[in-house]
Homo-oligomer: A and B are copies of this chain.
Amino acid sequence: MAPRWKGRTAEAKALADPMSKIVSDLQSSLLQSDAHASLSGSNALLPVEPQHAEILTRACFGRPIITADKVNQWFQLSLEEAFYLSHHLGCLKITHHQGTTCTIAELWQYMKSKIANFPHYYKAYSYLRTKNWVVRPGSQYGVDFVAYRHHPSLVHSEYAVIVLSGVDGRLMVWSDLYCTIRLCGSVAKTLLVLTVNKNGHGTVSPTALDGYSVEERSIRRWSAEQNREDPVAAANGTKYDI
């Protein structure tokens, strides 16, 4: 399925302004200002200056929290986003409630305590992000993430992503798979199943992540009528009696 750009100029705009460059700008910008976010339940809250708000929005990390306060602005980051900025890009410090900065090991423990399968979800998230996909939550479609080729203002999301890690997740029964494929089709997305294998590495520290592997599978409906060997019959929609 080809990417569905929003408007005629969107593709050219995206090409002229690659996501890798935007994320790299975000990294410099946060490093320069020594950015600190604080943990709050299953999110991290980042107080931002207007220039940070703009680059966070362009890079599609977190979402602005709308308050009546016009002076102080906050961005709410998911735990995957916070860990990616902190651990992978190394441009964000994260603090406890008490104001002390967490070590990466403390942060990893916190993430795992909030989301049981955090190592798997994070591996999938970072896997797509390092390939310059924009990754956003997929709960609206009942999947783990949705992936965009560029900023959501320029293009519709192409993939509905499900992360499989073990035995207690999605797609364990056929009807669940049918349901997911039907929904993905009706919202013009391709179902991308990422199976994260720990390969014997544990979840004790985030260094284990390097040993994890990710298998990609894209799943789509196959229609006999649309896949005939004889293209004329296919075009005419000829049906054969059985």
Expressed in whole angstroms, the Cα–Cα distance for A68 and B242 within the complex equals: 8
Are A175 and B242 in contact (CB-based, < 8 A)?
no
Q: Chain B residues near A178 (CB, 8 Å)?
A: 139-142
On whether the beta carbons of B67 and A144 are closer than 8 Å, the reply is: no
In the bound complex, do residue B179 and residue A143 qualify as a contact, i.e. CB atoms below 8 Å apart? yes
Give every chain B residue within 8 A of A68 (Cβ-Cβ).
241
Determine which of B66, B169, B179, B187 lies in contact with A180 in the assembled complex, contact meaning CB atoms within 8 Å.
B179
In contact, A182 and B66 (Cβ under 8 angstroms) = no
A98 contacts across to B, CB distance below 8 A: none
**Chain B residues whose C-beta falls within 8 Å of the C-beta of A66 in the assembled complex:** 241-242
- The docked-state distance in angstroms from the alpha carbon of A242 to that of B74 is 13
Question: Is A233 engaged at the interface, CB distance under 8 Å to the other chain?
Answer: no
Number of interface residues of A (CB under 8 A): 30
Q: Is A177 an interface residue (CB 8 A)?
A: yes
A181 shortest CB reach to chain B, Å: 8
Answer yes or no: A35 CB below 8 A from chain B CBs: no
* A199 lies within 8 A of chain B by Cβ: no
Given contacts A170-B173, A173-B169, A175-B170, contact A142 B182 (CB under 8 A): yes
CA distance A187 to B179 in the complex (A): 12
Cα of A178 to Cα of B27 in the assembled complex, Å? 34
Chain B residues with Cβ below 8 Å from A162 are: 175
How far in angstroms is the closest Cβ of chain B from A3?
A: 22
In the assembled complex, 25 residue pairs joining A and B whose CB atoms fall closer than 8 Å, in A order, are: A65-B242, A67-B242, A68-B241, A139-B175, A139-B178, A140-B178, A140-B182, A141-B182, A142-B175, A142-B176, A142-B179, A142-B181, A143-B179, A144-B175, A162-B175, A168-B172, A170-B173, A170-B175, A170-B176, A170-B179, A176-B176, A176-B179, A179-B179, A179-B180, A186-B187
Contacts A139-B178, A141-B179, A142-B178 known; list 17 others, CB within 8 Å: A65-B242, A66-B241, A138-B175, A139-B175, A141-B182, A142-B180, A142-B182, A143-B179, A162-B175, A168-B172, A168-B173, A170-B173, A170-B175, A170-B179, A176-B176, A176-B179, A179-B179
